[in-house]
Amino acid sequence: MRGVRGPGGPVGADGRPADGRGERRRERGDGPRADGGRGRHRAEAPRHDPQRHDPQRHDAVRRDGPAGEPGRAEAPRHDSPRHDPARYDPPGGHRDPGDGGSAPLRRGGIRASSRAASATRPLYAALDLGTNNCRLLVAEPQERGFRVVDAFSRIVRLGEGIGRSGRLSEAAMERAVEALAVCHSKMAELKVRRMRLIATEACRAADNGPQFLERVRAETGLSLEIVNRETEARLAVAGCATLVDPQADGVLLFDIGGGSSELVWLDLRQRGNARGFALTRFIRAWTSLPVGVVTLSERHGGVCVTREIFEQMVAEVNGMLDAFAGIEELPRLIAEGRVHMLGTSGTVTTLAGVHLGLKRYDRRRVDGVWLKSEEVGGMIDQLLDMPFEERVANPCIGHDRADLVMAGCAILEAIRRRWPCQTLRVADRGLREGILVELMARDGVWRRRPAPRAEEQGGARG
């Protein structure tokens, strides 16, 4: 797909037009910032908007699920039955199906372009090109959060074969370029002018990664930046921070990707009233493992995974965990029951969906759900006993993930064995949400405005 450019012209990684008529300043992220760098924002009450994201709220997920459906895991130390206003639902109300197509997504029969036309503030976009997926999220800032206008996700497997060759293959690059062209068309149609477009491990590791991004710019008009692993870890925290238990003394957050996996220890013993994005100031230690579901499954196989093969994968990942430094106090806090895990990846959302017995993946039921350690172990055992064909047939796994999910479970199992937290909270959110919140905070969209003076409220009084 050559020469695809869309009506909006080329766009820079800094989120501004890259046509030479304006600034092309790059939004750099070099690691956890000392000050957090963003304001507070919460979803408005009392009416819940299912497309609104609230990075400051951390209420419990309602126990009974939507419409009183049973089977939802119960959150420890949370007893509110209210729907968690920290959530937002991408258009369509379920996980993006792997190939979002080029048509604007709909919700309730409303086209994305119609929702954009009703927007009263500039639209923001976040694009994450990973080893396995290409994802886009477009949102409008609200007074206390943001409202999702459009979303897109397609499995492109950009990192396919990179472990053997060290290069991005022609077929993988073609798939990614086609998905990115769809993203450009969506952003152009919605007239997005503020965005951040990132590429992660596949482009970091590939010898031809920079050349591929030049091709992307030439064929789609999009300029992506390759972010470092520290930035990736920070964005994961920013995107998931609202799901942290407000009573926890610490959180072990992990993001299992296609080519790398990030782990972050949030030490919250001195957080005071800090919440939401402000929790990024409490990143005590982080590490990035050079392994993900694509690379691990290519080395060990993903179709027929015996328990012996599974243990070999776990052992490989376990050896990598030794490099996680600065966490000497973490085992003690875990043993005292004061730390929980927070997982953001297709692996944990898949486990949650299978655990809940969903007939169709439903993000509203998965995002924010709590799983006990024994439930996670039981689900991994259940998947190990599933033949490949059964994994393909499962609505929460499907053909695109069936050969990757066991590698993801092996990475998770290695983390669980090293740091045996009793509870895991599942996040169907991550880098894109973190990008949006950072961009909006930098632009000051949630800064408190001074109260209007009397003459501004009712005019001069004589």
pLDDT at residue 72 tops 90? no
Task: Give the Cβ contact number of residue 250 at 10 Å.
Answer: 24
Q: Looking at residue 118, what is its pLDDT?
A: 60
Which residue's entry shows tokens 């370029």? Answer: 177
195 lies in the same domain as 293: no
Sheet holding 250-256, edge to edge: 283-289, 261-267, 250-256, 339-344, 423-427, 370-372
φ, ψ of residue 147 to 5 degrees: the values are: -110, 125
Query: In total, how many domains does the chain have?
Result: 2
pLDDT at residue 27 tops 60? no
Q: Looking at residue 59, what is its pLDDT?
A: 31
> Quick one: pLDDT band at residue 405, thresholds 50, 70, 90?
very high
More confident residue, 34 or 153: 153
Q: Looking at residue 144, what is its pLDDT?
A: 75
Is 272 among the domain residues? yes
Range(s) of the domain holding residue 208: 52-230
Q: Domain end: 230, 251, 270, which one?
A: 230
> Quick one: pLDDT band at residue 143, thresholds 50, 70, 90?
confident
349 lies in the same domain as 381: yes
Mean pLDDT of 92-116: 40
153 lies in the same domain as 58: yes
Which residue's entry shows tokens 């009974």? Answer: 64
**Helix or strand or coil: residue 204?**
helix
214 lies in the same domain as 259: no
Is 373 among the domain residues? yes
Q: Looking at residue 10, what is its pLDDT?
A: 43
pLDDT at residue 160 tops 80? yes
pLDDT at residue 47 tops 90? no
Is 309 among the domain residues? yes
193 lies in the same domain as 260: no
Span 223-282, pLDDT tens digits: 999 999 999 999 999 999 989 999 999 999 999 999 999 999 999 999 988 887 889 999
408 vs 377: CA distance, rounded Å:
13
Span 317-343, pLDDT tens digits: 999 999 999 999 999 999 999 999 999
Is 415 among the domain residues? yes
φ, ψ of residue 242 to 5 degrees: the values are: -70, -15
187 lies in the same domain as 331: no
Mean pLDDT of 65-71: 31
> Quick one: pLDDT band at residue 450, thresholds 50, 70, 90?
low
Q: Domain end: 230, 264, 292, which one?
A: 230
User: Is the CB of residue 269 less than 8 Å from the CB of residue 276?
Assistant: no
- Most confidently modeled of 47-51, 63-67, 92-96, 433-437? 433-437
> Quick one: pLDDT band at residue 182, thresholds 50, 70, 90?
very high
pLDDT at residue 37 tops 50? no
Percent helix, percent strand, percent coil in the chain, to nearest 5: 35, 15, 45
Q: pTM of the full predicted structure?
A: 0.73
Q: Looking at residue 341, what is its pLDDT?
A: 98
More confident residue, 142 or 416: 416
Q: Domain end: 207, 230, 253, which one?
A: 230
